[in-house]
């Protein structure tokens, strides 16, 4: 009973240290950026100062462009990621239950997983269309294979003694999956969720640059067309912030809780 409060204190201490590390890293980056700006290696329209980028960010917020871009981008991300995870886990489970299919599909998936997401854009434009469905298609096709491979590996790496013990106690079918296989594979699946999200996020921004008129990727493209480097950098920093916040608040938190529940200690 006395160890639980101490564990909570340790977790909070590590969280604050992680947050402080990020702040220090960002501060060093901003200072270096300002020094390069003062050195005048590039004209201000090609390399604006942090203050100019912050001013552009404020203007984008006040003008509503950033809110509209976030709304469309996060909506596409949510839809595409849910489809990729659901489809990837479903096929991954089928790969486990059908060994020959699993071996063939595993090699096939690893090959397609390394395929550049941007290369799917012309295919999606012609097959699906220059619309949101085409963008979501690029997202799904770029991340679903990662989820398939992760699910396949996570289930196959479950110690056989767990499944044998459960079957000896009468657990079968769906109950075997939900009560034994899913909890045992969850740590590996969390890594798969994170990797699939990373692939989906990269594919989404790239597809929006080429296929969208609204979204964070579109803001990057408009900035390039009108030579507004401050808008490009402000959009890039927004994309970076979303990635960092999602990883820390969602995936790292889930991974940490699972490790602590299993007595594996704090994530370093």
CATH 2.60.60.20 fits 54-259, yes or no: no
User: Residue 261, class by beta-carbon neighbours within 10 Å (0-12 exposed, 13-18 middle, 19+ buried)?
Assistant: exposed
Contact 197, 214 (CB under 8 A): no
Query: Each residue of 144-183: pLDDT tens digit?
Result: 999 998 888 888 888 778 777 877 777 766 777 777 777 7
3 state DSSP class of 231: helix
pLDDT of residue 266: 53
Residue 14: which pLDDT band, with cuts at 50, 70 and 90? Answer: low
3 state DSSP class of 110: helix
Residue 263: which pLDDT band, with cuts at 50, 70 and 90? Answer: low
- Structure token pair of residue 107: 């090699």
Question: How far is the C-alpha of 6 from the C-alpha of 2, rounded, in Å?
Answer: 7
pLDDT of residue 13: 52
Residue 4: which pLDDT band, with cuts at 50, 70 and 90? Answer: very low
pLDDT of residue 9: 52
Question: How far is the C-alpha of 228 from the C-alpha of 249, rounded, in Å?
Answer: 32
Q: Is the pLDDT of residue 1 over 70?
A: no
Query: Each residue of 95-132: pLDDT tens digit?
Result: 888 888 888 888 888 778 778 888 899 999 999 988 99
Question: How far is the C-alpha of 148 from the C-alpha of 145, rounded, in Å?
Answer: 5
Query: Each residue of 21-68: pLDDT tens digit?
Result: 778 888 898 999 899 889 888 888 888 999 999 999 999 999 999 999
Residue 235: how many CA atoms within 13 Å on its side-chain side? 25
What are the sequence ranges of the domains in the chain?
54-259
Q: Is the pLDDT of residue 256 over 90?
A: no
Query: Each residue of 205-253: pLDDT tens digit?
Result: 999 999 999 999 999 999 999 889 999 999 999 999 998 888 888 888 8
Question: How far is the C-alpha of 7 from the C-alpha of 16, rounded, in Å?
Answer: 14
- Could you report how far apart the first and last alpha carbons of the chain are, in Å? 24
Helices (DSSP H) in the chain: which residue ranges?
A: 3-39, 50-63, 65-97, 99-113, 120-127, 132-156, 160-168, 173-176, 182-211, 216-225, 229-246, 252-261
Question: How far is the C-alpha of 201 from the C-alpha of 64, rounded, in Å?
Answer: 22
């Amino acid at each position: 009973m006395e160890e639980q409060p101490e564990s909570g204190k340790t977790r909070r201490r590590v969280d604050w240290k992680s947050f402080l590390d990020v702040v220090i890293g960002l501060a060093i980056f901003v200072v270096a950026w300002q020094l390069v700006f003062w050195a005048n290696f590039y004209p201000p329209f090609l390399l604006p100062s942090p203050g100019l980028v912050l001013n552009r960010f404020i203007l984008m917020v006040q003008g509503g462009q950033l809110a509209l871009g976030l709304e469309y981008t996060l909506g596409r991300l949510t839809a595409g990621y849910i489809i990729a995870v659901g489809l990837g886990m479903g096929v991954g489970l089928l790969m486990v239950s059908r060994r020959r299919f699993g071996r063939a599909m595993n090699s096939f998936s690893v090959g397609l997983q390394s395929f550049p997401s941007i290369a799917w854009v012309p295919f999606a434009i012609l097959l699906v269309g220059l619309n949101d469905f085409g963008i979501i298609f690029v997202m799904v096709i770029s991340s679903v294979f990662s989820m398939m491979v992760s699910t396949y590996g996570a289930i196959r790496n479950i110690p056989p003694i767990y499944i044998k013990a459960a079957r000896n106690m009468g657990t079968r079918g769906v109950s075997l999956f939900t009560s034994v296989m899913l909890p045992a594979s969850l740590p590996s699946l969390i890594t798969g969720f994170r990797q699939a999200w990373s692939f989906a996020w990269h594919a989404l921004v790239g597809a929006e640059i080429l296929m969208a008129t609204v979204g964070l990727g579109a803001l990057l493209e408009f900035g390039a067309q009108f030579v507004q480097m401050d808008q490009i950098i402000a959009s890039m920093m927004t994309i970076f912030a979303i990635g960092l916040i999602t990883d820390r608040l969602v995936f790292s938190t889930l991974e940490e809780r699972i490790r602590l529940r299993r007595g594996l200690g704090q994530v370093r």
